[in-house]
Amino acid sequence: MRVTATTEAAASTAADTIVVGLVEGEGVPHDVEDGALGALVESGEAKAAPRSLAVAHAAGKRWILVGLGARATLDAEGLRLAAAAAHGRAKDVGARVLCWELPHKAREHDPARAVVEGTLMAAYAFTAFKSTSKDEDGGGIEELIVSDHADPSAAVARAEVVTRAVNAARDLQNTPANHLTPTALGERAQALAVAHDALTCEVVGREEIVARGMGAFAAVAAGSDEEPALITLRYEPTDDVAADTPLLGYVGKGVTFDAGGISIKPASGMADMKFDMTGAAAVIESLGAIAELGLPVRVVGVVGATENLLGPAAMKPGDVFTTAEGLTVQVDNTDAEGRLVLADCLHHARALGAERLVDVATLTGAIMSTLGRIYSGYWADDEAWAADLAGAAEDAGELIWRMPLHERYAELVKGSTADVANLSPARTGASCTAAEFLHRFTGGVPWAHLDICGTGWDGGRAYAPKGGTGVMVRTLVALAERTAAAAAAPEPANVD
């Protein structure tokens, strides 16, 4: 689906179908000459209730009227959902060129961005393994035009780049594990580096992982014949980066299939364990979007990609391994493998000079018991960095909720035969103790951890109802934008 922007009136564009948002009590912003749209409202067929839909034919165009609710409650997420609803109706009625007339007085909600995100995410379909694939890329809709009085082109272009990255992450998530191997994940990162001059990529396998002292990562990979991959993406723009801009370290869990190892998972739901690389997808595709946007910030992305299976060489409960940090880890449960991979990847990001860390992982099922599929949980050990992450998530429209770090949780991951254990006692704050385990490997660098186990797939939103959601791509891009903007901001003047 092509995406374009215009200041031309929606009715004057080449669109065959125009979407108009209805705000409660405000009527139709620009009615057609014969008043057909207003009549649809007066008759009660078109309503301002959120996502209510009505279709009219007038002035040689098809018109879709979508409810936006009350002005006081209208926000970017409401616009995304309205765009998704309008896309579904436009697809059903055979639209080819769709034009959104942006709602008036809604600029604080960045309506152009929200409409592009809602439409393109709703248009997503994963058909790579269907023998007959129709309705690809928007269900026959060839172009989305965004019309506004003020030029929306910059917001539209930015939203298109980021949303295509979200959908690319969903492709990675949805690909079956026998096709999306650790090697294939590395190849995707390498392809992005080829496409962008400011991106470089290094991928190393089992032998080099062992040589680098990454004993925890290597232990997880030992149970599979598939070659693991330590993927390092570096975004280094040649200029425009303010001197004091911190090097960001994005770390993603890339377990391309998680059977649980010797501590095997129940068969029910195991097919969903292809999604255990969702954090890796977010890191890889956000780096691609950051590079395409040319943001003035430096970022290193580190992904530990492996399978967690039951092979002759698989790690066993009770085994002890030495991490790149030098700390020893006792493996009390082989299904708590993500934190083992991340421990060595966090160390690697620090070794590359990362001055701010954020890791993204489908780490614990327990976070779903706490926050459901609505919020991602996050932990942070630095107040300024926590505020930056929370602000970025708000900018992106992704819900995150801060969880506690505490020395008493840290006590629970102390090992009996090693420095740390990869599992806390049963029913004792599993998500918080997992975060404290990771905290041991951050070396005092400001750090945040995002547990996305509840939000990574089957999001239940109109624009991402089933399958991968591409969660945290938008937030990671927004975090890079905020970091760059803060570094570029002038110092406040001293006042005596």
Query: What residues are annotated to the active site?
Result: 265, 339
Are the C-beta atoms of 413 and 424 separated by less than 8 Å? yes
Q: What number of other Cβ atoms are within 10 A of residue 465's Cβ?
A: 12
| CB-based contacts of 12, cutoff 8 Å, min separation 6 | none
Tokens 């995100």 belong to residue:
117
CA angle (453, 256, 210) in 5-degree steps: 115
The dihedral over CA atoms of 146, 148, 153, 154, expressed in degrees to the nearest 10, equals -120
- What percentage of the chain's residues is helix, strand, coil (to nearest 5)? 40, 20, 40
The region that residue 429 occupies, defined by phi over 0 for left and psi between -120 and 50 for alpha, beta otherwise, is left
Phi, psi of 376 (to 5 degrees): -90, 140
Dist. CA 27–CA 146, nearest whole Å = 20
Dist. CA 5–CA 148, nearest whole Å = 8
Name the strand (E) or helix (H) holding 435: helix 430-439
Q: What number of other Cβ atoms are within 10 A of residue 458's Cβ?
A: 16
